[in-house]
Chain A
Amino acid sequence: MRPGKAERLNRLFDPRDGRAVCVAADHGWMSDMTANVVNLREIVAAVVRGGADGILLSLGQAMRLGRLLEGRRAPALLLRADWMNLPRLGGANELNAIPVTRMKRVAAATARDCLNLGASAITIYFFVGYGDEFEAYNVELCAHFAEQCRRVGLPCIIEPMAVGGMVTGANVAEWLQVSARMAVEIGADALKIAYTGDKATFGKLVRDAGVPVLMLGGARSDNERDALDMVAEGLEAGAAGVVFGRNVTKAPDPQLMVRQLVTLVHEGRTVDEILAPPAGSRLRLRVTAKNCTGCDLCEVACHEAHTGAFGKSHARLVVRSEEWNTGRLGGRLHRPFVCTLCGKCVEACPTGALTFSPGTGHLKFDTALCTGCGQCGPACPLGIIRFDADSHPLTCDFCGGNPQCASWCPNHAITVAVVAAAPRADEQSVETEAATATIADIDAQAQAGTGEMAQ
C-alpha cells in the first residue's frame, strides 16, 4: 500500500483498535430535501462533538462545512465521488419528488479533486444484481476510481449494494459476500456494506474481504436498541466499525447517538450498559393515548416476553377501548394502561410477596411468600393486575430493563422514559407522597392524552 493511503487510513481508523465510527451525511446529493439534509450544519457539528472518526459528505457540502472538521481529532473527511438515483427508484423513498424507473450512476469527481479538498478517502458505490450490463459498467467505473486513488495515494472505500431484480431475500447475503470480494479485487481499501442479517454470513464476508469492513446502519430505525444490537453483532463477526447515516442524522440527538456508537465500537461496552439509565434515575413507562390504535401488540409482546407463547392472558398491561359518538361522527378510542409503580399493590400485599426491587425500583414478586389472597388485584387503581392459574399476580417487571410493550408499539403510544428519582429509603415499602404523585401523573396523562376516557 502506498504511504499516502496508509497514512490516510490511519487518520480514519483508530490505530489503537483498528476500528472506526463514521457518519454518512451525503443524502441530499441523491435524494429529497428531508430534515437531515436541511439541518446539515448542526448535524455535522453534533457529529464532531460526538467524537466520530469519519464523516461522509458530498463535495459541495464539504466545501462549505469543511471547516467544522479542522484539527487532528476531528472526524476524517470522506467524500462521495459518485452520484446515483437509487433513493428515487420506485417507491423506495417516501417523498420521491421525481421518481425514476431506471438505475443510473455516474462519477461526480476525480480522486484528485477529493484529495485537494482534504479528503482522507473517497467512497463510491458498486451495484450488483441489477443487470449484467449495469454490473459491468459498475466494475469499470470502480476500477477507474481505484486506479486514480492508487495514483494519488487516497484510500478508496467501495460500497457494494445488492439491488435489482436479481436480488432476493434468499440470495442477498450471498450477493453481498460476492460483491464484497469483487470490490476488493477491483481495488477497495475498505468496504462500506450492509449487514447480511446474521453473524455467520457476515463473518464470512469479513474474512473473505481481507480489508476493513464498515457496516451500514441502513434505514432509520425507530428503536435505537435494534440499531445498536445490530452493530454489536457485526463487531462480533469482525466488522471494523460502522458507517451510520440516517440513524444518526435523523436521530433526535445525533451527538448522543454517535457517542453511543463510539462507546460500543471503541470502548467495548455492551448495548445494555450503554442504554442503562444513568445512576440515580429510573425507568418509567409513558403512555401517549392519542397514538394508540388498539392493535394490542403491546399486550401480545408482554405475554410473549413472559411466557414465550402467543396470547394476551399473561400480559402485565391492558388496552381498553371505548365507543364515542358525537351524533355525526363516531368510533372507538383506545388507551393502554401500564404499571405506574404507584405501590398500591405493595401496600395491599399482607405477606410481603410484592416489594420494590432495590436499585431499579421496579416491582419484585416472591412466589414463595404469595398466598394467593388476591388483595393486590382490586388495590390496583388501574385494574391491570391479572392472575395466573395459581392465583399469583402478574405484575410488571419492566422486562428486566427493556420493556417489550414499548419496544413493539408501532406508534409510540407506550415509550420508556428515564426519570430522575432518588432510591426509595426502603425499597420494601412505599412512600405515600411518591405514590400520590404517581396517581397525579396518571390523571395528568389522562387529561393530556385523548381526555375522552376516564381512568
Chain B
Amino acid sequence: MAENIGKQLRLAEWFNVSYGGAILVDMTISGAEGAVTGLEDPGEAVDELGCQATGLIVNPGQMERLASRGRLPGKRGAAPLVRVDWTNALRPSDFIAPMRKARRVLLSSAEDAMDLGADAIVTYLLMGLDEDFEAENIQSFAFLARESARLGLPLVADIQLVGPKVGKVNFADAVKLGVAQAVEGGADAFIIPDPGEEALAMIRRFSPVPVLLRVEGKGDSNKGGLGDAGLDKGGLDEGSWASCFNRADGVVFAGREFWASTRRVDLVSFAREAREAGGTR
C-alpha cells in the first residue's frame, strides 16, 4: 500500500477499505475505438453503473465533460480515475483500418488529471512490443510514478499483453514480468489479464499493492478472466462469478464485449455483492 497520506486517502476513495476490494469500470475504450455499442452516451453509462462500481476509468476529456455537467455520481457512487495515455495497440483486428505501428502517447499529466478531480491515474504498461516502444513506455511510466508520488495521487498500471512477443507459452511469465516492473516502478495498484491460478497466486504473494483482474468477457482467450462464465455464454452462475471476483483484490470491467452485453449492470452488481460477501484481503 502507498506510504503517502495523499495516496492513501485517494486510493481509499475507490478501493473499498471495509471489504478490501475495488470494482472498476473502464470507459476509455472510446478514446481508441470511438462510441462502441453500449457506450454511445457516457452519461447514461455512468448513471447505469456509477453506483455499483467503486471507480470509473475515464479519459481526460470525458472526465471534464462528465464533471462539468454534474454526471459523476459523487460520494454515493464511483470515484473517477483518469487514464492519462492513449494507444492504438489494443484496437481489434477488425477495426476500420489495421494498425501498422503501435503507438502510445500521453493525453494528460498527473497534475492535469488531479486538477480534473481524479482519485488516481491509470497508465498502460504494454508488454510484447518492440524494444523502443517498451523503453519509452517504461520511461513514461517511471516519470508518471514520480509525478504522482509528488502529488499524492495513486498510480494504477494497466498491464496489457499485446505484442508479437507474447503468446500462450509465455503469457503467465509475461504478466509476471509486467507486474514486477509495475511494482518496482512505483505503481500503487495494477490491472492484469488473468494469468492462471498458479501465476496469480505468486503475483498476489509478491505484490505489496492491490491486484486487479481485468474482465473483458471473452472466455475463450487469455484476455478473459471469466472462464466458462464468459459474457457471450450468458452463464451468470453466481457461485462461479463469486469465486472469479474474489481471486484478486478487485476486478476491472472493460472491452467491447462488456459494453455490448445487455447484462453488464448485473455483472457489476454480482461483482460487488461477491466482494462484499467474501473479500480476500
Contact = CB atoms under 8 A, between A and B. Distances in A.
The bracket for how many chain B residues form the interface is: 35 or more
Nearest to A81: B142
A83 interface: yes
Contacts of A109: 142-143, 146
20 contacts: A29-B181, A30-B181, A33-B179, A60-B183, A63-B4, A63-B149, A83-B135, A83-B185, A85-B131, A98-B128, A98-B165, A98-B174, A104-B132, A106-B136, A106-B138, A106-B139, A108-B143, A109-B143, A113-B146, A113-B150
Q: Among A31, A59, A101, A108, which residue has the most Cβ atoms of chain B within 10 A? A: A108
Contacts of B135: 83, 85, 104-106
B127 interface: yes
Contacts of B180: 28-29, 31-33, 37
Interface string B96-136: 00000000000000000000000000000001100110111
Contacts of B186: 58-60, 63
Given A33-B206, A99-B165, A102-B131, A60 B138 contact: no
B267 interface: no
B37 interface: no
Interface of A: 26, 28-33, 37-38, 41, 58-61, 63-64, 66-67, 83, 85, 95, 97-110, 113, 116
Nearest to B128: A98
Interface string B129-171: 0011011101100110110011000000000000001100010
Interface of B: 1-4, 127-128, 131-132, 134-136, 138-139, 142-143, 145-146, 149-150, 165-166, 170, 173-174, 176-177, 179-187, 202-203, 205-206, 208
Nearest to A113: B146
Contacts of A104: 131-132, 134-135
Nearest to B161: A98
Contacts of A37: 180, 184, 206
B143 A97 contact: no
A113 to B, nearest CB: 5
A157 to B, nearest CB: 18
A67 B4 CA distance: 12
Contacts of B177: 31-33, 97-98
